[in-house]
Amino acid sequence: MYKDKQESEMLDKSIKFDINNYKDIWDKINELSFLIEVDELFVPKCFIDVNSKVCSCLEYSKENFIDVIPSDVFIFDKKGTVLELYRNLIYKRCDKVEMILKSKYGKYVYVEANIFLFIQNKKKHILIIAIDVTKNKKIEKNIVGIIKGIPDVIKVYNPDYTIAFFNEAGYNFYNKTPKEVNGKMCYEVLSREEKCIDCSFEEVMETKQMITIEKYIPELNKFMDVCYNPVLDDDGEILYIVERLRDVTEKRILHKMLKENEDRYKQVINSMPDAVVIIVDNIIVLGNIEACNLLDLSYEKLRGINVYKLFQEKYIKSLHKRFRNIILNEKVKDISEYEFILSNKKVAILQISHSYISYKGKPSIIGVLRDITDIRKELNKAAEFQRKTLQLDFPARKFINIETVYIPSNTVSGDFYRIYEINEELIIGIIVDVRGKGISAALNISAFDVLFLQEIALTHEPMNIVKNLNKKLVNYYDENYIAVCCFSMNFNKNELKVVGAGVNQFIFQKKDGKVEEKIAEGIFLGMFENSEYCEQIISFEHGDKIIFFTDGLDFILDEDKIIQKYMEQISIHEFKNYIDEFLNDTILEVGILQDDCTMIAMEIK
């Protein structure tokens, strides 16, 4: 019946137990006590008796409990079968296990139990004496769940200073397994024979308050930021002490290095002729003397100020996006201009070049500020002159309606357009995009306008005009190439001729038809003396639309075709308003256009 003779002999030597004597103290103890009869194969048969603590805990009356099947109450939280656990008692006589008890109404109670095997009246019995640890178990499981994915080292201690468990980062940090550390004293993990001199356990036990310290662990050669946090039960008693360790060795070394280099940072930026500030998390952490003078602030007021407080409200939204883009893309030389009202009510125009840097190990922005108020005044004069020379009145009004868009990316534009009337039935126009921006581009525009006027005095063919201009620009413009699209419209023949040189795309739409992208191939003017160009010849009629534009408006031909579909349903006047609104919103959001934007839209009457 038993495995072997040895097993039978050991069972015969089991403890002889007088159940009646034991009942004298059965209901006086605070533990949960069960007496179970098992058969010859150690299969639990029935409950012989339980104490009143069991009935109270599991919500049974004593009379009903005797009829309950043991397997409905006991859930062993241990590998292996219940049978094997009972049979092992033949060798051990008693064992300590963790179990889960199931109450009458399905509630689970976690217990730590001592189990004994004994014989009474030639029958085998199992005695179980258990302690309810449900509250501790739930707290432990919650702690385990919380700390599982925390990258810091987390160690959980029992009130007697023994280790309950670590999180995964803790076992990895000490290069230990749970079996090697659980149940040991904390100092034993470091192969010490006594506790650390600066141990804070006693203080935590006494005050029941969280304590944070920084200490050096010589065995690991590391500086650690350590936090001890007691976990209390409902009665205010300590259940566990949770210790959090964070390796701050690198931070400590870096802090020392940065502290030594702080004066060097100041020396570098103070040696720069322009105003310079360093921004970390939107706070100015460093600025030179020139920045203080330019912004009319003392160093104490400049350092530590939120950078947005220096700007007008209208710039905040675009500035926030700009800073985020610089940090995410590690962008350098992001240049923009802002109007500042300084403390003395003086209005200044500042050009600021923002660039990504790493300051004290953090992603940061360095800003170089220049006062361009006087330069801006001169540019504004040039821009005003340019706007006054811009064509506003157009010929051939009885044949076509014309709408234009002209928005520089900066104060002065490198774009230009002009339409001349040759006679009542013929006009010649050109849209121009000069390489570069600012004053030099504006001067090139003025010179080019003179050259264009000279050519149309000699020929009325767009192809000849473009070729002749190309030859002249090879000699005069060096690398300042010019992109143009030249066109003529003959209202007697209802014929459009288009020649492209750098500005190669244009749009043609038949009345009530789809928008078509047209291309007149040809490279920039001034690149090669014998450049070849192509000409598009298109017949037009009432209701047709033609749109010429520079590359700042290339989004009109985006792949999603949304704008093109929109164009099909509206007039050129409505489309002009749409483009104006789109560009103004872009300026408001981003702060500046990437390129000059110019468009000529015509609709045949």
Would you state the structure tokens that stand for residue 117, as one six-digit string?
């095997």
Rounded distance between C-alpha atoms, residue 112 and residue 20, angstroms: 25
In the block, tokens 């939107």 appear at 282
- pLDDT computed for residue 485 by the predictor: 96
Which amino acid is present at 377? K
Which amino acid is present at 140? E
Residue 390, beta-bridge partner list: none
CATH of 136-247, one of 3.40.50.300, 3.40.50.2300, 3.30.70.360, 3.30.450.20: 3.30.450.20
Angle at 360 between CA 355 and CA 363, to 5 degrees: 40
- pLDDT computed for residue 47 by the predictor: 85
Would you state the structure tokens that stand for residue 24, as one six-digit string?
């004298």
Residues of the chain with CATH 3.30.450.20: 5-132, 136-247, 269-371
561-565: Cβ within 8 A, 24+ apart:
564/507, 564/515, 565/515
Rounded distance between C-alpha atoms, residue 393 and residue 391, angstroms: 6
Phi/psi at 199 (5° precision): -65, 135
- Sign of the torsion formed by the C-alpha atoms of 142, 146, 147 and 149: positive
Does the pTM exceed 0.75? no
Rounded distance between C-alpha atoms, residue 41 and residue 372, angstroms: 98
Would you state the structure tokens that stand for residue 447, as one six-digit string?
């010179």
269-371 topology per CATH: Beta-Lactamase (3.30.450)
Series of mean pLDDT values for 10-residue runs along the chain (605 residues) = 43 46 67 83 80 86 82 64 59 71 85 79 82 71 60 83 83 84 82 77 86 81 84 80 81 62 71 88 91 89 92 88 90 85 80 87 89 79 75 91 89 86 94 72 75 91 94 71 93 96 93 89 88 94 94 80 83 92 81 84 94
User: Could you give the C-alpha distances from 589 to 134, 341, 353, 598, in angstroms and in order?
Assistant: 59, 21, 18, 20
Q: Quick check: helix, strand or coil at residue 173?
A: helix
CB–CB of 536/498 below 8 Å? yes
Please list, residue by residue across 467-478, b when 16 or more beta carbons sit within 10 angstroms of its beta carbon and e when fewer do: bbbbeebbeebe
- pLDDT computed for residue 270 by the predictor: 78
User: Could you give the C-alpha distances from 260 to 187, 270, 360, in angstroms and in order?
Assistant: 36, 17, 12
CB–CB of 463/536 below 8 Å? no
- pLDDT computed for residue 546 by the predictor: 96
Phi/psi at 335 (5° precision): -105, 135
338-341: Cβ within 8 A, 24+ apart:
338/311, 338/312, 339/312, 340/295, 340/310, 340/311, 340/312, 341/312
Rounded distance between C-alpha atoms, residue 323 and residue 365, angstroms: 8
CATH of 388-604, one of 3.60.40.10, 3.30.930.10, 3.40.50.720, 2.60.40.2580: 3.60.40.10
Domain 5-132 carries which CATH code?
3.30.450.20
Distance of CA 165 to the CA centre of its chain: 34
